[in-house]
Structure 1
Amino acid sequence: MSTVPGVSASGVAAEVCPAEPFRRIRARYTERTVTVYQAYAPELGVPAARDGRFPVAWKRDRMTWIKPSFLWMMYRCGWGAKAGQETVLAVEIERAGFDWALRRACLSHHDPREHANRGVWQRQLKESPARVQWDPERDLWLRPLPYRSLQLGLAGEASRRYADEWTVAIRDVTPLAREVRALVGSGEVAAAAALLPRERPYPAPEGTPGLGRVS
């Protein structure tokens, strides 16, 4: 199976491997760090990439959503064309921090298989510093695939730690987004696929909400 979601080595839509789990974290990572993606207006994104850290104007008291999947981020920000999301950032953070958030996360929706009742889930959601949401992974045409990837919402302590402790480096990958989109638009799919970040199954910590579910 190709490592590019929904694309074969020749650049055409590929069959999804039956062994692909319904939910999985796929990410670019090293022994120490994991890369996640966000998109901001230039007044926030440009100084963040320039200085390698989030500016004071970045609101640390608000929930922020990080995405390990490059193509899901492209779907969310429209390849960096949506208003307020024109600057696409690759944020390299410490794996220890990422795992800390996953272990303390709550599902963003009620699942009776994980919570005894809705009240238990609502209390956990209110108290948790992180939220896990599983959304359909995307192919190069940003079409949904029949398996899901992670969005991780960070709030309170997790949001502050993300901005001021866990972040190792920030890169502006807007040019990459535009180049991949242009190649797909011109039919050069194999060339576009070759530019995508190499994402691998991430060894999520035990207790990550929603993993192991088949629907």
Structure 2
Amino acid sequence: MKERDIRAEYDEQDITVYQAYGPTIAIPAIENNNFVSPPFKMTRMTWVKPSFLWMMYRSGWASKEGQEHILKIRIKREGFEWALKHSCISHFDKGIYNSVEEWQSIKERSPVRIQWDPERDLSLTSLKHRAIQIGLSGIAVEKYVNEWIVSIEDITDFSKKVHRLFTNGDLEKAKSMLPIEETYFLNDLLKKTIGAD
């Protein structure tokens, strides 16, 4: 397994990403099958994550304040790849950019940020390979809300059930319920843009 590649649940048209919000944003989003502004703020960067277990790590299995609802969001693959194409790594990487100045210039022009963080297992222990986070701002948020979202599903109860199974020692049952996340293949240009292996 490569250290940095995108693993996600996807088909020919759509890809799944996850977000966690408190009820004021999550409930209107679920009811309307899209984010409602306000309370959702189009002017803020919003982070999407294709990794279910990384979302569980970030939200503490839907226990952290402001992250009590886990949203499974299906978006168009063409939108997802637009985001990758118009992205910049959050931190300077000499393997991608020729200089700090080049990186800063690209970052200023890019509406999307990429971060690679250690992937997690069911115990939320960090693994050697990494999971991607994608931060959307400006035009990217507008496209996300107005063009890319296909469906929004509240999977909070499902997430808590997986956690209960794991906590109660039924590791195999918990594993069997996890989403099947497969390598998302990218062309060489997109790999270089996001720092994938």
Say if 1:102 and 1:205, in contact at 8 Å, map to a contact too. no
The equivalent position to 1:38 in structure 2, one of 19, 23, 39, is 19
Identity %: 45
Structure 1 runs not aligned, ≥5 long: 1-19
Distance 1:155 1:33 in 2: 21
Match of 2:139 in 1: 157
Say if 1:36 and 1:67, in contact at 8 Å, map to a contact too. yes
Q: 1:78-97 maps to which residues of 2 (within 5 A)?
A: 78-97=60-79
| CA drift at 1:71 | 0.2
Structure with a larger share of its residues in helix: 2
1:155-201 deviation per Cα after TM superposition (whole angstroms, max 9, x unaligned) = 11111110111000000010011001101100001111111111111
How high is the TM-score relative to the length of structure 2?
Answer: 0.95
| CA drift at 1:207 | 2.4
Distance 1:187 1:69 in 2: 23
Task: Confirm whether residue 135 of structure 1 aligns to residue 117 of structure 2.
Answer: yes
Matching residue's letter, 2:8: A
Distance 2:89 2:58 in 1: 20
| CA drift at 1:72 | 0.2
Match of 2:196 in 1: 211
Task: Confirm whether residue 98 of structure 1 aligns to residue 63 of structure 2.
Answer: no
Matching residue's letter, 2:124: L
| CA drift at 1:205 | 3.9
Distance 1:135 1:207 in 2: 21
Task: Confirm whether residue 28 of structure 1 aligns to residue 9 of structure 2.
Answer: yes
Match of 1:202 in 2: 184
1:138-159 deviation per Cα after TM superposition (whole angstroms, max 9, x unaligned) = 1000100110111011111111
Say if 1:135 and 1:150, in contact at 8 Å, map to a contact too. yes
1:45-72 deviation per Cα after TM superposition (whole angstroms, max 9, x unaligned) = 1121122111121111111110000000
1:4-61 deviation per Cα after TM superposition (whole angstroms, max 9, x unaligned) = xxxxxxxxxxxxxxxx001010000010000000000111111211221111211111
Say if 1:71 and 1:138, in contact at 8 Å, map to a contact too. yes
1:91-146 deviation per Cα after TM superposition (whole angstroms, max 9, x unaligned) = 10000000011111111110112111111111111110111111111100010011
The equivalent position to 2:96 in structure 1, one of 114, 133, 148, is 114
Runs of 4 or more above 4 Å deviation: none
Distance 1:91 1:109 in 2: 27
Residues 202-211 or 47-56, more deviating: 202-211
How high is the TM-score relative to the length of structure 1?
Answer: 0.88
Structure 2 runs not aligned, ≥5 long: none
CA RMSD of aligned residues (A): 0.9
